[in-house]
Structure 1
């Protein structure tokens, strides 16, 4: 009961943070201005980004397959990934996408530790690539973030990630418990497979590049001809900040970061906000494919 109450309170807190940040951003830009800009987007650009998003999920499922010791059909894992993306987008804070993927894989294998460990490893490698690219972007575009909140926020996020990794993987807390011991055993088995991990990291980097290109296409669809280099500098930083678990799906955090960073490239606040919303709407539309997969597997 207490756990359920804590979950509800956390969700309310995240809603409050997202709502407050959105209110702040939209009070500066104007809701009508942002909506008017979004309506002008080229439909081909919007649809194109939907397909890029679905393709990136497919690439993610290939990465996940690499991290499984047993043979699984790629189509099956792709299906699980689609469903997970749907829950991540439309039911954030209630049912996590990773929990959904773990559940479906467990149904296939009846191996709880393997299912959880592979999903965790898949997510972990994704974070490693994101943090690495974000740090490179941070260094390349430091003149844009110097003196802003991001100057210390991004290094804090990366440092926290490193501390968390050390605590979990080096100190091996709870290793006396069988399920946790099996979890660490999975990591031991894969930590020595350098070629496999390199492939997984390269796929993760490819996924990040696809995300950057999708954002660039959204900007073009809104009539913005911004240098592609700005997207490679700003977008990984924006995505990293959006991963902070203090809002709903990064809503509010993402829009604020868009306005701040792309404003330094000469983009007006209302346009930067529209770019953020249009990108989110396109990926959310792609996430609907997961709903169809969920209903298909349920029948």
Structure 2
């Protein structure tokens, strides 16, 4: 029963009271990221005319922008279905509505409460509420992320030949994307291939290896073993990843089309994965500064001005913030218990 608290955890809390240092360190880290975001924004906008950015936003095609927002919102339904599929090997099958609400609420937590709790932490907590162990919740979140990135990077690897301008701007781009693809595919193979097992090193590890570390690795390995042999799960999840990642790329393209940017659709299958990899770097607040810099850099290959590239980046982020506000309402109103399947 989820309400029963493990006694060892209670003893751990009693024996090791909370310290102020981690909280102070977190505040300093937040301030550092804020400073980096501000510096990056200044660097991007130092020679730009904000009036031109505002002009581009004011003249955006509202209908195309609306379609792009609706399309991006619809991808969260596909993501929720994939999340449910990945939870099932762990014996958990929560209602789809519960997972969808959790996804939308996670957008709010990621973008409006970045210094307290992230969206992934909320999703992990909700998976635990639905009956998954803590290790399984983390394993599923990691698998969810890897599957999405595998598909995005595979898009880029397959379409690099159609974007010679971009290839010329990024040194060794084919090599880096190829290595990332191989690494993630290797992770998926190790996770789902039944003939390969994580070695039982926890029983043979030297005594100097901390017992808690060995136990943590063993718990994590056990969580990933639930995927072994489930090629049906892998195939289904990959198909859904292709669907929602393709829709995500089209979402970016529609925003560019709404701004009348001269960039072909296929080029976005290269630009978007590279931009997302850059935005995932944990050095700024919600990728502020990284997002603008990435699109200014990549769009320059197609003759797009800094001002219009920044307008694009801000409309992309505005879409996320809008869905985050929806997620905040969803979180405030939610109250269902994930018990019945649907």
TM-score tier (shorter): 0.7 to 0.9
Is 1:11 paired with 2:49? no
Picking from 127, 144, 150, the partner of 1:105 is 127
Matched ranges for 1:1-299 at <5 A:
1-69=20-88, 70-109=92-131, 111-138=133-160, 140-141=162-163, 143-146=165-168, 148=169, 150-151=170-171, 162=183, 176-177=214-215, 180-297=217-334
Aligned CA-pair RMSD:
2.9
Name which one, 1 or 2, has greater alpha-carbon Rg: 2
Q: Report the alpha carbon displacement of residue 220 of structure 1 after superposing the two structures with TM.
A: 1.8
Q: CA deviation at 1:294?
A: 0.6
Mark the CA change 1:85 to 1:250 in structure 2 (over 3 Å): closer, same or farther: same
Deviations, residues 210-254 of structure 1 (Å, cap 9, x unaligned): 121111111221233432122222222111211111122222112
Change (3 A) 1:10 1:131: farther
* Length-normalised TM-score, structure 1: 0.86
Higher percent of residues as helix = 1
Is the deviation greater in 126-135 or in 216-225?
A: 126-135
> Deviation at 1:29?
1.9
Taking the aligned partners of 1:229 and 1:110, their CA distance within structure 2 comes to 39
Q: Distance in 2 between matches of 1:75 and 1:93?
A: 27
2-structure distance, mates of 1:35, 1:127: 33
How far is the alpha carbon of 1:138 from its aligned partner?
Answer: 4.8
Structure 1 contact 60–203 (Cα < 8 Å) conserved: yes
Deviation at 1:41, TM superposition (A): 1.6
Q: What is the alpha-carbon distance in structure 1 between the residues aligned to residue 175 and residue 34 of structure 2? A: 25
Aligned residues of 1:175 and 1:184 also touching (Cα < 8 A): no
- Give the whole-Å Cα distance in 2 for the aligned partners of 1:288 and 1:155: 39
**Aligned-residue offset at 1:22:** 1.0
Contact 1:117 1:183 in 2 (8 A): yes
TM-score, length basis structure 2: 0.76
CA distance in 1, matches of 2:290, 2:178: 17
- Give structure 2 stretches of 5+ with no counterpart: 1-19, 192-197, 203-211, 337-342
2-structure distance, mates of 1:202, 1:113: 25
SS in 1 for 2:46: helix
The alpha-carbon deviation at position 277 of structure 1 amounts to 0.9
Q: Secondary structure at the match of 1:266?
A: coil
